[in-house]
């Protein structure tokens, strides 16, 4: 894809201050898209905005809760106000609450349902309305997870929300494909982000043991796949989920967390 492949396109990326979302926003901006970065953490968001601008990217930021439908409606409206349109919507923000089913609390489940599902559904709703009004198609991308494909210890409820996103991407084809709007999902495997590295100093070492390619997934691996799905080249791909995990789901061996 050329450096200017996204020139004139306007993107929204939720959870874009760090990790996978930041890398998707950065790569889109590098290739000419105007990007609205959302995150709950306004301080880190400002740093992300400054970094992308330093690299020459055209971007704005909107701090807020991507799991709140009212806020999502305002986020889409603000994007149109700033950049005039919306072509690409990436529902990246997600929440992980690891827990056994024996210990899960209603608040843990509710927070995952709110952000992972409600946030994604309502970004799709308001972005699709805008795209349909514009009349020249668009791209909606959801961030699923390998835990939505394979069972994983203490991730049954998180995995359930991520599996639902695959069906959301597929089901939306019925309503949106005729408008030229593609709806797809990416399922990252264990990915080195600020959160995963801070949560476990051995994160990389452990996952290398059970990842067939011999390395863990990096945000750029997910961003490269995202950019392709968001590009004009992927116009005929919709309703699909692409797993980016170095082959982990082929074997699904879980690392030994006891060492
Ligand atoms: N990192 C992984 O190993 C991995 C694996 C599979 C799937 N995923 C999924 O990929 C996505 C990104 O993961 P990550 O590890 O890069 O991100 P993360 O969990 O570290 O969060 C990224 C950003 O989202 C923001 N955020 C949190 N709650 C928010 C909210 N309510 N509204 C707006 N922003 C909010 C955070 O402040 C953070 O800057 C998530 O949906 C996650 O479930 C990640």
Quick: pLDDT tens for 131-178.
Answer: 999 999 999 999 999 999 999 999 999 999 999 999 999 999 999 999
Residue 27, pLDDT above cutoff 60: yes
pLDDT one-digit tens code per residue, 28-39: 999 999 999 999
> For the stretch 168-177, what's the b/e string if a residue is b when 16 or more beta carbons lie within 10 angstroms of its beta carbon?
bbbebbeebe
State which ligand 1 atom lies nearest to the alpha carbon of 48. 39
* 21 C-beta closer than 6 A to ligand 1: yes
Read off the pLDDT of each residue in 30-52 and give the average, rounded to a whole number.
98
Domains for the chain: give ranges and CATH numbers.
Answer: 10-189+230-241 (3.40.50.720)
- Nearest alpha carbon, ligand 1 atom 17: 19
Pocket lining: 51 vs ligand 1, CB cutoff 6 Å: no
pLDDT band at 256 (very low <50, low <70, confident <90, very high): confident
Cα–Cα distances in angstroms (integers) from residue 125 to residues 32, 79, 87, 128, in the given order: 25, 15, 13, 5
pLDDT above 90 as % of the chain: 93
* Ligand 1 binding pocket includes 120 (Cβ within 6 Å): no
Q: Model's pTM, two decimal places?
A: 0.97
- Residue 26 CA to residue 16 CA, distance in Å, equals 9
């Amino acid at each position: 894809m050329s450096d200017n492949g996204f020139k004139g396109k306007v993107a929204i990326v939720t959870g874009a201050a760090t990790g996978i979302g930041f890398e998707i926003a950065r790569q889109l901006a590098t290739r000419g898209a105007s990007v609205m970065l959302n995150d709950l953490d306004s301080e880190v968001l400002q740093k992300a905005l400054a970094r992308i601008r330093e690299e020459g990217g055209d971007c704005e930021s909107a701090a807020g809760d991507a799991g709140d439908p009212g806020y999502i409606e305002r986020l889409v409206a603000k994007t149109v106000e700033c950049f005039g349109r919306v072509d690409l919507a990436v529902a990246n923000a997600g929440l992980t609450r690891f827990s056994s089913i024996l210990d899960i609390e209603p608040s843990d489940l509710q927070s995952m349902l709110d952000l992972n599902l409600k946030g994604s559904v309502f970004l799709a709703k308001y972005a699709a309305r805008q795209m349909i009004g514009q009349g020249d198609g668009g791209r909606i991308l959801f961030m699923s997870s390998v835990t939505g494909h394979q069972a994983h210890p203490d991730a049954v409820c998180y995995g359930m929300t991520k599996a639902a996103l695959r069906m959301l991407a597929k089901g939306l084809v019925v309503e949106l494909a005729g408008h030229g709007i593609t709806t797809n999902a990416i399922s990252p495997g264990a990915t080195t982000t600020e959160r995963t590295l801070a949560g476990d100093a051995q994160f990389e070492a452990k996952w290398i043991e059970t990842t067939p390619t011999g390395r863990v997934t990096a945000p750029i691996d997910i961003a490269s796949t995202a950019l392709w799905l968001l590009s004009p080249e992927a116009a005929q791909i919709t309703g699909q989920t692409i797993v980016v995990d170095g082959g982990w789901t082929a074997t699904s061996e879980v690392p030994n967390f006891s060492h």
